[in-house]
Each structure stands twice: as C-alpha cells, then as structure tokens.
Structure 1
Amino acid sequence: MARVLLIEDDDAIRLSLGKSLTAAGHVVSAVAAGADGVAAVARDKPEVLLLDLGLPDLDGRDVLAMVRAVSDVPVIVATARDDDASVVRLLDAGADDYVIKPFSAAQMDARIRAVLRRLGQEQHGESLTVEVGGLRIDSRSREVTVDGKPVELTRKEFDLLLALSRRPGAVVSKRELLAEVWGLPWGGGDRTVDVHLSWLRRKLGETAAAPRFLHSVRGVGVKLAVPDRDG
C-alpha cells in the first residue's frame, strides 16, 4: 500500500512492527537512529514516516524538525504522553498523526491508511484549484497567491486554508478543523486553530478585526468568504 520508513531504536518493536506492516501490504524500511532516519527520508523519499520519540542519538522532536526542513512526508509519531498539550505541540511541530504507546500493529496500519486517505483527498479532489476573490489555492502544487502574488505557507497553514476552501462560504467549526487538519477527533485544542488562523491571516494580509477572506463567527467557527466589494 505504501512505502513506509520506521525510525525505532527498540530492536524487538522495529522487527515486529516491520514484519506486521509488511504482511499488511506495505513496503517497510527501518533504521534505529534519528540521524539515519533523516538521511533516509531525504534519500529514499518514503510515502509515510513512523517516528518514535525516544531515540538514542537525537530527541525525536528534533528529528521531526529536521525532517520537516527537507520533506513534506506524512509523519506519524509514537509517544508515551497522551495529554492534550503534548499532542498539540507535536502536531503543531509538523506531525500529521500520533499513536499512544503501547499500540498494536493493526492500529498503526489504520493510522497509515487514514493519513494516506487524507493525502489522496488533497491530491485527487474534484477541484484542484479554488479561487475566492483574489485568493487562489492550488491543491496539487500546494501554491497560494493573493492578487497574483505568491504566499508562502507552512504545511499546516496550507492544510487549514485548504480545509476551509473546500466549503467556501460555509462556517466550519474548530472541532471539524481539528479533526480534518490535525487528526484530532476531540475538542480542547481550540488554541492551536486560533494560533494558526492568526498566522494565516497575517500572511494573507488581513487581521481578525479587519478580515478579508477568513471570517470568524463567534461560538461557531470560521468561514472562507469572498471579500466585500468595498473591502
């Protein structure tokens, strides 16, 4: 199903998980150290990266940052911490999904398939380009322009804008955005949405007080709307 890179220092877990995922149809390569993993991402260009945070040579969060500097590969993090703040920090740092230890191979396979489904929806959606007023979003090239000028967005900023662009004019709740963009099916992470909206607004040349494209509806959510003619 997918070319998977596993970065895991525990020999037993690495061998067992690799064997199970291979049996599920994935092509799995595995390394035991963070530095080797970053090199493998750049060299082999896997379709999914499974990253354990407890590595012998580098902190897993540092590995995530290094990977994000060279690749947009979907990253699923394995972590022992399940408190909301820790999970949100990982997702904000560039992880696409997470599993809490201990986890089963079946659970990891399900996470891989879910990440690939989300990626496939972006790449093979009915509309590859969305235009709202002077805002143009190309989901295939992941390029955004405002009034013809390119706008540089982070992965999560783009994913957030793309999620809103799929329902132009409709109010999307923060819970829906957390589930669609960050893979969080629960509430409690509203602040991460607010922070990314703030960054996104700044890059689009607007503010919450004077919105052009992104309009917040108090207590409900946010919508992507065509600017007023006199705005």
Structure 2
Amino acid sequence: MMTPKALAKPVSVVLVEDDQSLRDSLVEYLELKGLCVQAVGTAEGFYCLMKRNQFQVAVIDLGLPDASGEELVDFSRQNSDMSLIVITANDGLSSRVSCYRSGADLFMAKPVYGQELAAAIFSLADRQQDRAVVDDSAPTDGGRWLLNGKSWLLITPLQTNVECTVKEYRLLALLAETPSEPVKRPKLLQALYGRDDDSAQRALDTVVRRLRQKIQQATGEDSSPIRTVYSVGYLFADQIELSMD
C-alpha cells in the first residue's frame, strides 16, 4: 500500500459541505489521518475562513445553500494557490467539465469515502511540495506589468503582449491606479457602464473572466494578477505601470 510523502507540516484543508453528518464524518476521518481540517457548511463561512487563514487544499461541495460551489472554485483559483477538489451528487459530464473549466483539480462523485478523499488530498499536497521546490530553484525576472495607453496592450513581465478591448483596457487602467488595492465594484460599474444593475454586473464579470483567460494564455500560468476581493471588487495583485508612450 502506498503511503504519502513526508511533508514538512500537517496539510491544511478547508472543507465546505452543507450536509452536517457527512461533514462531521469526513472531518473525523481526515483528522485521524493527520490532516489539519477546518469545515463550514456555507459559502459565507468559507469566505470568512479565507480572510483569516491560508489552506493548501480546499474540498468544495457544489450544492451549497447560499451559492454555487463553482463560484467558490473560481474564487479560489483566482485568489489562492490551493489545490481544489469538488464533491457533488451530480456527476454528469457537463457538471464535471464546468468544474474543471472553473479550475478544479479533482472531481469526486458522492458518496465520498474518507479513505479516497484523504489519498487525494495527500497526492495534491505532494505535488504542491514538488512544485515549490522547482519554483524556489528557478530564477525570477523581477519585472513589472506595463499597460500601454496608446496601443491598448498589457505587456507581461516577460514582454508578452496581451491585446485588450476598450472595456478591458479601461478596467486595467482603473486597477492600475491603485495596484494591490481593491477597486470597488460600484466604481468599476459606473466607470465602464454608467450604471449599477444586474446586466452591468454580468457584463463586468464577463470582461474580467475573458481578460483573465487572455493573461493566462499569454503567460502560460494557471492564474492571473486580477484578483477578486469578496464583497468588495477587484485588484491587480502585482506591480503595474500605465504608459501613454
């Protein structure tokens, strides 16, 4: 029987499952295996934990009472380095594909067994540790992002160009005004659409999603520096300079 690698410290796990009986049984089993687990039953509880803690692995149920688990997966992929496991009673193909597109690493259909879940968590934690060794040994370029106001180009630290639409450029220009500080959604909505309604909010989310995809394609990374700040807005989590030359 294979055993997990020796890790530097216990693996930290956040479990989001609204079925209290299942949640309690999984927590009990995972803790017996040496994992450090914090568990909640709602999306709101998850976001509260994320404000105060950092986790290596998140286990997220899709069927939450106050939000779709896919929203939590997307938020986690854009705002953390956690590995993500989705659990759900709906294991149809479209559901699995949607979750993987949102950024899930693994998809597990219910019933979920503690032994399998623990093995999956340890496997993902092992990969994180291996990636960290590679990242620590790789040189860094120490560059910054450049937003060119004449050509509407976002230039990555490795000098790759990301072509922006008008809305994408205006969004980046607003975020560049206060790098690493969130810009509130109402301000973005008024600046980009002149209104704050459901249609404008959906349009803003679409612009952010497409821009993130462009950046990820240009950099070859799984995430982008455009981060969601829950209940606030968005920020650009890196150094960025606006140039009109």
Q: For the superposition of Structure 1 and Structure 2, which TM-score range results when normalised by the shorter chain? A: 0.5 to 0.7
**CA displacement at 1:148 relative to structure 2:** 4.2
Alignment match, 1:94: 103
Distance 1:148 1:70, change over 3 A: closer
Q: Hey, what's the Cα distance between the residues in 2 that align with 1:60 and 1:146?
A: 31
> After superposition, what is the alpha-carbon deviation per residue over 1:134-167, rounded to whole angstroms, capped at 9, x for unaligned?
xx899xxxxxx98943689xxxxxxxxxxxxxxx
Q: Hey, what's the Cα distance between the residues in 1 that align with 2:14 and 2:105?
A: 15
> After superposition, what is the alpha-carbon deviation per residue over 1:104-137, rounded to whole angstroms, capped at 9, x for unaligned?
000100110111122122112398338xxxxx89
Identity %: 28
Q: Hey, what's the Cα distance between the residues in 1 that align with 2:94 and 2:84?
A: 18
Q: What CA RMSD, in Å, does the superposition of the two structures yield over aligned residues?
A: 3.2
Distance 1:55 1:122, change over 3 A: same
Segments of 5+ residues of structure 1 without an aligned counterpart are 131-135, 139-144, 153-197, 206-231
**CA displacement at 1:47 relative to structure 2:** 1.4
Distance 1:146 1:105, change over 3 A: same
Alignment match, 1:76: 85
**CA displacement at 1:86 relative to structure 2:** 2.4
Distance 1:40 1:110, change over 3 A: same
Segments of 5+ residues of structure 2 without an aligned counterpart are 1-9, 143-154, 163-212, 221-245
Number of matched residues? 149
Q: TM-score, normalised by structure 2?
A: 0.52
Alignment match, 1:44: 53
**CA displacement at 1:51 relative to structure 2:** 0.5
Q: Hey, what's the Cα distance between the residues in 1 that align with 2:90 and 2:22?
A: 18
Residue pair 2:16, 2:42 contacting (<8 A) in 1 also: yes
More relative contact order in 1 or in 2 (CA 8 Å, sep 6+)?
A: 2
Q: Hey, what's the Cα distance between the residues in 2 that align with 1:91 and 1:104?
A: 21
Matches within 5 A, 1:29-178: 29-125=38-134, 128-129=137-138, 148-149=158-159
Q: Hey, what's the Cα distance between the residues in 2 that align with 1:201 and 1:47?
A: 22
Q: Hey, what's the Cα distance between the residues in 1 that align with 2:64 and 2:138?
A: 40
Q: Hey, what's the Cα distance between the residues in 1 that align with 2:23 and 2:133?
A: 32
Answer with 1 or 2: which has the greater Rg.
Answer: 2
